[in-house]
A and B are shown apart, each in its own frame.
Chain A
Amino acid sequence: MSSDIAAGAHERIDSFAPATVGPGILDQPAHVGAARKIGPVVLDVRNISLRFGGVKALTDISFDVREHEIRAIIGPNGAGKSSMLNCINGVYQPQEGSITLRGRTFRHMNSRQVAEMGIARTFQNLALFKGMSVLDNIMTGRNLRMKSNLLLQALRVGPAQREEIAHREVVERIIDFLEIQPWRKTPVGRLPYGLQKRVDLGRALAMEPQLLLLDEPMAGMNVEEKQDMSRFILDVNDEFGTTIVLIEHDMGVVMDLSDRVVVLDYGRKIGDGTPGEVRANEEVIRAYLGTSH
């Protein structure tokens, strides 16, 4: 009898587990256990305001990102999503507010410093080197971690060669992870768009980031490519424990992938919560669908 009770209690705990982890993995088959543990806040964005002359791109935006979670930023066109990402990324310098990354608060930082702090990103409009091979493109992601000097690298001798071998190994693991082995030596410009997006993700992963910013990773993709990319995003999050902030237009994808969602509209935050909460938020519905008066 007592064992029955214990079993029942166990079941209850199990059934609670997914809800605390977030609905992102609710579509997993039953035999897959919940593994990700959402940790403490790693990125805290406080009262960010960004103006371009008289245009207010962002007004008083605050939200946080917790360790190992997938955080989505959504909103209609011109809502300020990419601007928000560019602030985190150090491309734009917000006039007001602060960004705290792992306890370090900063107001002004350039993109190199951001990269050194373990933040990598992909781009809405691909920024790959079209004439270079997949391998070389991903290798550029290792740039920050290369220590030997230019001359040694050019001559490929001694420590530079050992270093290149070590970096190549990391790159090969990424190629394996993203299943792009057949195109290792193919110039990126000759690949279909969906694969180029994968290479872009690969280059960001080559930095071994702690925080990965994805700017519309599924834009312009067909359904199959979207499924593949969704799978890779979940895998990156799961296998490497990388925290992910993503901007996406496709609501279905956002709702399935993310643990929590921030909704922006005209540079203001109008919603923040789990996909379920956001979906029920009237202001969000109004922003997306409009209201009849």
Chain B
Amino acid sequence: MPSTFPRLLLEHARRRPDAPALREKDFGIWQALTWGQVAALVQDLAGGFAAAGMKRGQHVVVVGENRPRLYACMLAAQAIGAVPVPLYQDAVAAEFVFPLNNAEVEFAVLEDQEQVDKLVEIREQCPRLSHLWFDDPRGLRNYQVAGLASLDALIEAGRAFNAQHPGYVNGLIESAQPSDVAAMFFTSGTTGNPKGVVHTHASLIDRATAGRDFDHLSDREEVLAYLPPAWIGQNSFSYAQWLVCGYVVNCPESASTVSIDLKEIGPTYYFAPPRIFEGLLTSVMIRMEDASAAKRWLFHRCMDLARRVGPALMDRRPVGFADRALYALGNLLIYGPLRNTLGLSRVRVAYTAGEAIGPDLFTFYRAIGVNLKQLYGSTETAVFVCLQPDHQARPDTVGVPISGVEIRVDDGEVLVRSPGLLKEYYKNPTATAEVKTADGWYRTGDAGFLDEQGHLLIIDRAKDVGRIKGGPDDGAMFAPKYVENKLKFFPYIKEAVAFGDQRERVCAFLNIDFEAVSNWAEHRNLPYAGYADLAAKPEVLELMRECVEKVNADLAANERLAGSQISRFLVLHKELDADDGELTRTRKVRRGHIGQKYAVLVDALYEGRERQHIEKQVRFEDGRTGMVAADLRMQEARRFGREERKAA
């Protein structure tokens, strides 16, 4: 289907002008925009852009939550032939400087005062920036900033322009080619400056179509857009596939009402990274702990049955009659209401990706009848590379290559070839050459392999897989992410960072999950004064030790990974945070950076010290900084030897 996004929009507007395209909850009511209205809005905005002097090939940054008018702005930019560049709305001002200068950005569409403030702050460093438009005028009435105007004003200007130049915008839409650049996404990047990933209309539309065909998506799907639009995953589900399938995309009222909005909309096609599924499960479990004994008993009995029978039913494996009958009863009493509470009762296809998902977590959702599957892809591959087919979802694989995709494993690293690969990294031929081979393969940087059934298995980042050096485990494989993920599968542990490459043994930093651990503490009448205090409680350290030792026992069972057992660990006094550069914007730990920043703590762990004082600068949400100090206690963890391994 060679086309462009604006042409897809016009096609929907022509065929079904009165069908809803976008919904937004505003003032407590879901308000719909039809395809016809979206097309008219895009027409006006595009006229406004043209009147402001926007030219083909220029970049427009779009910063904000999922808002219908921001999506319309992306379409309007594409209609002109310009390239929308969505940026993360929660990034601090300084992080915008590089993308703005790299892409020579003159135009910016911003959601609200918060984003305007950030761009005004860095304006001197980005001299090209000349036009700023905002969606929500609140608090901006008295701003005297050159080039700042509202989207309403832009729409007015666009109407005037279109009246004077009828057919101008449509002419540009008609003359656009599928091979034109459609959008640029900046990857958060674990090292160095972010890289602008350039995609064409053809690559994005091809992959969105392949995903649609794989799961038989129709124009009747309901999707909730709640993740950052700057992330290509959200962009695929609520933009590329929205235009390819023609379904309805719903924008929540605000970031804090997502769980309520999810319940009201009841999406049929749902995507969430594992941490969201984990958050949902944690909140259910916390509420169950507060329930009466009878309810708890019933819940646990039903869940035991569900774990045994549910996944088998999902995978269409044979299940006995008695189990089927009991499961149906459980569905009536527990699973159905639970799906409803989670807002997942209408889900036909749910995906998770981005991080490894814990087997317990994955099984939980499939057990209660949610068709949760995994997919594999990245910004560079326009998301859709491998997807798990219905009835074949497994927690440890990421699915089979879908149509158009070829997979090859070269020296442990997974290589991909598909029509959805990036065109290039913007103004960075060196980096492009590093990942794209001459014959069109893309180096994913992931270590993994295809199993007998043709499913892809991912172990870790290829460059992160290391070796233990010296000591009793000399030469053993160390897969840090594998260890960290195992730790993070415990509800009490929010983040983990493991060190061990080229060292004698493995040590780790842990972050408690404040919600889960504070609830745990309340049930034990354990008083605490805040995050740092709770994280340092001896009882909490003991809880963490139990988790670490369970992971060690688990690792010991695997011959190849037994050397990765954790010997010492500590619990950090502050949450690892993207604002402090410790996590990427997609919440992946930046192990190297953390290792350097907290070198004192790493040394303390390896040198066998018992306590260590640490004082570090932190950055608050509003960009100010402050100092946080703590006295941390190092913890020893039991490792499991060969005999115990046998016993286990």
Residue positions of A touching B, CB distance < 8 A: 29, 31-35, 168-169, 172-173, 175-176, 179, 181-182, 184, 235, 238-239
Quick check: B257 and A32 within 8 Å, CB to CB? no
**Whose C-beta in chain A lies nearest to the C-beta of B139?**
A235
A239 to B139, CA, bound (A): 8
Note all chain A residues with C-beta closer than 8 A to B141: 35, 238-239
Question: In the complex, which residues of chain A have a beta carbon less than 8 angstroms from the beta carbon of B145?
Answer: 31
Partner of B120, one of A31, A33, A35, A235: A31
In contact, A181 and B143 (Cβ under 8 angstroms): no
Which B129-147 residues have a C-beta within 8 angstroms of A? 138-139, 141-145
B139 lies within 8 A of A181 (CB): no
Provide 27 A-B residue pairs closer than 8 Å at the C-beta atoms, listed in order of the A residue.
Answer: A29-B120, A31-B120, A31-B143, A31-B144, A32-B143, A32-B144, A33-B143, A33-B144, A34-B142, A35-B142, A168-B28, A172-B27, A172-B28, A172-B29, A173-B27, A176-B26, A176-B27, A179-B254, A181-B254, A181-B257, A182-B254, A182-B260, A184-B28, A235-B139, A238-B142, A239-B138, A239-B139
The residue that A181 contacts in the complex, of B138, B144, B253, with Cβ under 8 A, is B253
A58 to B27, CA, bound (A): 44
The 8 A CB mask of B253-278 against A (1 = contact, 0 = none) is: 11011001000000000000000000
- The chain A residue with its CB closest to the CB of B254 is A181
Closest A residue, CB atoms, query B146: A31
Neighbouring A residues of B254 by C-beta, 8 Å? 179, 181-182
Which B residues touch A29, using CB under 8 A?
117, 120
Chain B interface mostly: loop
From 364 to 396 in chain B, residues with beta carbon under 8 angstroms from any chain A beta carbon are none
Contacts of A181 in B (CB 8 A): 28, 253-254, 256-257
- CB B180 to nearest CB in A, in angstroms, measures 36
Minimal Cβ-Cβ distance residue in B for A170:
B27
Contacts of B260 in A (CB 8 A): 182
- Which residues of A are found within 8 Å of B142, using beta-carbon distances? 32-35, 238
What residues on B are CB-neighbors of A169 within 8 Å? 27
CA distance in complex: A168, B143 (Å) = 31
Contact string against A for B residues 104-140, beta-carbon threshold 8 Å, 1 for contact and 0 otherwise: 0000000000000100100000000000000000110
| B131 nearest CB across to chain A (Å) | 16
Residues of A within 8 A of B120 (CB): 29, 31
Set of chain B residues within 8 Å of A31, measured between Cβ atoms: 120, 143-145
A172 CA to B144 CA, complexed, in Å: 29
The SS class assigned to the A binding surface is: helix
Closest chain-B Cβ to A43's Cβ sits at a distance in Å of: 25
Closest 4 CB pairs of A and B: A172-B27, A35-B142, A33-B144, A182-B256
**Contact residues in B for A182 (Cβ distance below 8 Å):** 254, 256-257, 260
Closest B-chain residue to A174, C-beta based? Answer: B27
B259 to A, closest residue via Cβ: A182
**What residues on A are CB-neighbors of B26 within 8 Å?**
176
Complexed CA–CA distance, A235 and B141 (Å): 11
Contacts A35-B142, A235-B139 given; 19 further ones with Cβ under 8 A?
A: A29-B117, A31-B120, A31-B143, A31-B144, A32-B143, A33-B142, A34-B142, A168-B28, A169-B27, A172-B28, A172-B29, A173-B27, A175-B28, A176-B26, A182-B256, A182-B257, A182-B260, A184-B28, A239-B138
Q: Smallest CB–CB gap between B120 and chain A, Å?
A: 6
B150 to chain A: closest CB distance in Å? 15
Alpha-carbon distance between A239 and B144 when the two chains are bound, in angstroms: 16
Q: Which of A175, A179, A182, A235 has the most CB of B within 10 A?
A: A182
Bound-state CA distance A8–B107 (Å) is 31
Select from chain B the residue with minimum beta-carbon distance to A231: B139
Measured CA separation A110–B26 after assembly (Å): 38
Note all chain B residues with C-beta closer than 8 A to A179. Answer: 254
| B258 to chain A: closest residue by CB | A182
B149 to chain A, nearest CB (A): 14
Chain A residue nearest to B27 in the complex (CB):
A172
Cα separation A231 to B170 with both chains bound (whole Å):
45
- Within the complex, the shortest CB–CB distance from A70 to chain B, in Å, comes to 16
Give the chain A neighbours of B144 by CB distance below 8 A. 31-33
Instruction: Give bound CA distance, A168 to B139, whole Å.
Output: 23
Contact with A along B48-64 (1 / 0, CB 8 A): 00000000000000000
Shortest CB-to-CB span from A30 to chain B, Å, is 9
Interface digits, B136-166 against A, CB 8 Å rule (1 contact, 0 not)?
A: 0011011111000000000000000000000
Residue of B nearest to A172 (CB): B27
**Residue of A whose beta carbon sits closest to that of B26:** A176
**Minimum distance in angstroms from A76 CB to a CB of chain B:** 31
Bound-complex Cα distance A35 to B139 (A): 11
Chain A's nearest CB lies how many Å from the CB of B286?
Answer: 16
Task: Give complex CA distance A181, B138 in Å.
Answer: 16
The interface residues of chain B lying within 8 Å CB-to-CB of A34 are: 142
Bound Cα distance A31, B145 (Å): 6
Q: Which residues of B contact A33 (CB under 8 A)?
A: 142-144
Whole-angstrom distance between the alpha carbons of A277 and B144 in the complex? Answer: 30
Across-interface contacts of B29 in A (CB, < 8 A): 172
Complex alpha-carbon distance, A13 and B27, angstroms? 41
B-chain residues with CB within 8 Å of residue A172 when the two chains form the complex: 27-29
Separation of A29 and B143 alpha carbons in the complex (Å): 10
Q: Pick from B120, B141, B142, B256 the residue with the most CB of A within 10 Å.
A: B142
What's the Cα separation between A173 and B26 when bound, in Å? Answer: 9
**Taking the nearest CB of chain B, how far is it from the CB of A281, in angstroms?**
31
Closest beta carbon of chain B to A114's beta carbon, Å: 30
Task: Tell me the complex Cα distance, A182–B138, Å.
Answer: 19
B143 proximity list for chain A (CB < 8 A): 31-33
Q: How far is the CB of B237 from chain A (nearest CB, A)?
A: 23
Residues of the B chain whose Cβ atoms lie less than 8 Å from the Cβ of A239: 138-139, 141
- Determine the distance from Cα of A169 to Cα of B141 in the docked complex, in whole angstroms: 22
Give chain B residues whose Cβ lies under 8 Å from the Cβ of A168: 28
What A residues does B138 contact at CB under 8 A? Answer: 239
- Chain A residue nearest to B145 in the complex (CB): A31
Assembly CA distance A176 to B120 (angstroms): 25
Determine the distance from Cα of A181 to Cα of B24 in the docked complex, in whole angstroms.
Answer: 14
Bound-state Cα–Cα, A169 to B253, Å: 15
Q: How far does the alpha carbon of A50 sit from the alpha carbon of B257 in the complex, in Å?
A: 48
Chain B residues with CB under 8 Å of A175's CB are: 27-28
Chain A residue, CB-CB nearest to B144: A33
Measured between alpha carbons, how far is A172 from B253 in the docked complex, in Å? 12
A264–B105 alpha-carbon span in the complex (Å): 56
Q: How far is the CA of A153 from the CA of B229 in the complex (A)?
A: 44
Once the chains are docked, how many angstroms separate the CA of A274 from the CA of B180? 61
List residues of chain A with CB within 8 A of the CB of B117: 29
CA of A176 to CA of B256, assembled, Å = 12
CA distance A238 to B143 in the complex (A): 13
* Nearest neighbor of A168 in chain B, beta-carbon distance: B28
The interface centre, meaning the residue of A34, A35, A181, A184 with most chain B CB atoms within 10 A of its CB, is: A181
- Residues of A within 8 Å of B256, CB to CB, are 181-182
Taking CB atoms, residues of chain A closer than 8 Å to B253 are 181
Chain B residues in 8 Å Cβ range of A184 = 28
Alpha-carbon separation in the docked complex, A31 to B117 (Å): 10
Cα separation A239 to B142 with both chains bound (whole Å): 10
Complex alpha-carbon distance, A235 and B144, angstroms? 18
Complex Cα gap A4–B290 (Å): 72
Q: Closest CB-CB distance, A248 to chain B, in whole Å?
A: 23
CB-nearest residue of chain B relative to A180? B256
- A44 CB → nearest B CB, Å: 29
Contacts of A238 in B (CB 8 A): 139, 141-142
Instruction: List, in ascending order, chain B residues with CB within 8 A of A35's CB.
Output: 141-142
Chain B: minimal CB distance from A138 (Å): 12
Question: Chain A residue with minimal CB distance to B25?
Answer: A181
Find chain A residues with CB under 8 A from B139 CB. 235, 238-239
1/0 per residue, CB under 8 A from A, across B569-611: the answer is: 0000000000000000000000000000000000000000000
In this complex, what residue of B is CB-closest to A34?
B142
Residue from B27, B120, B141, B254 having most chain A Cβ neighbours under 10 A: B27
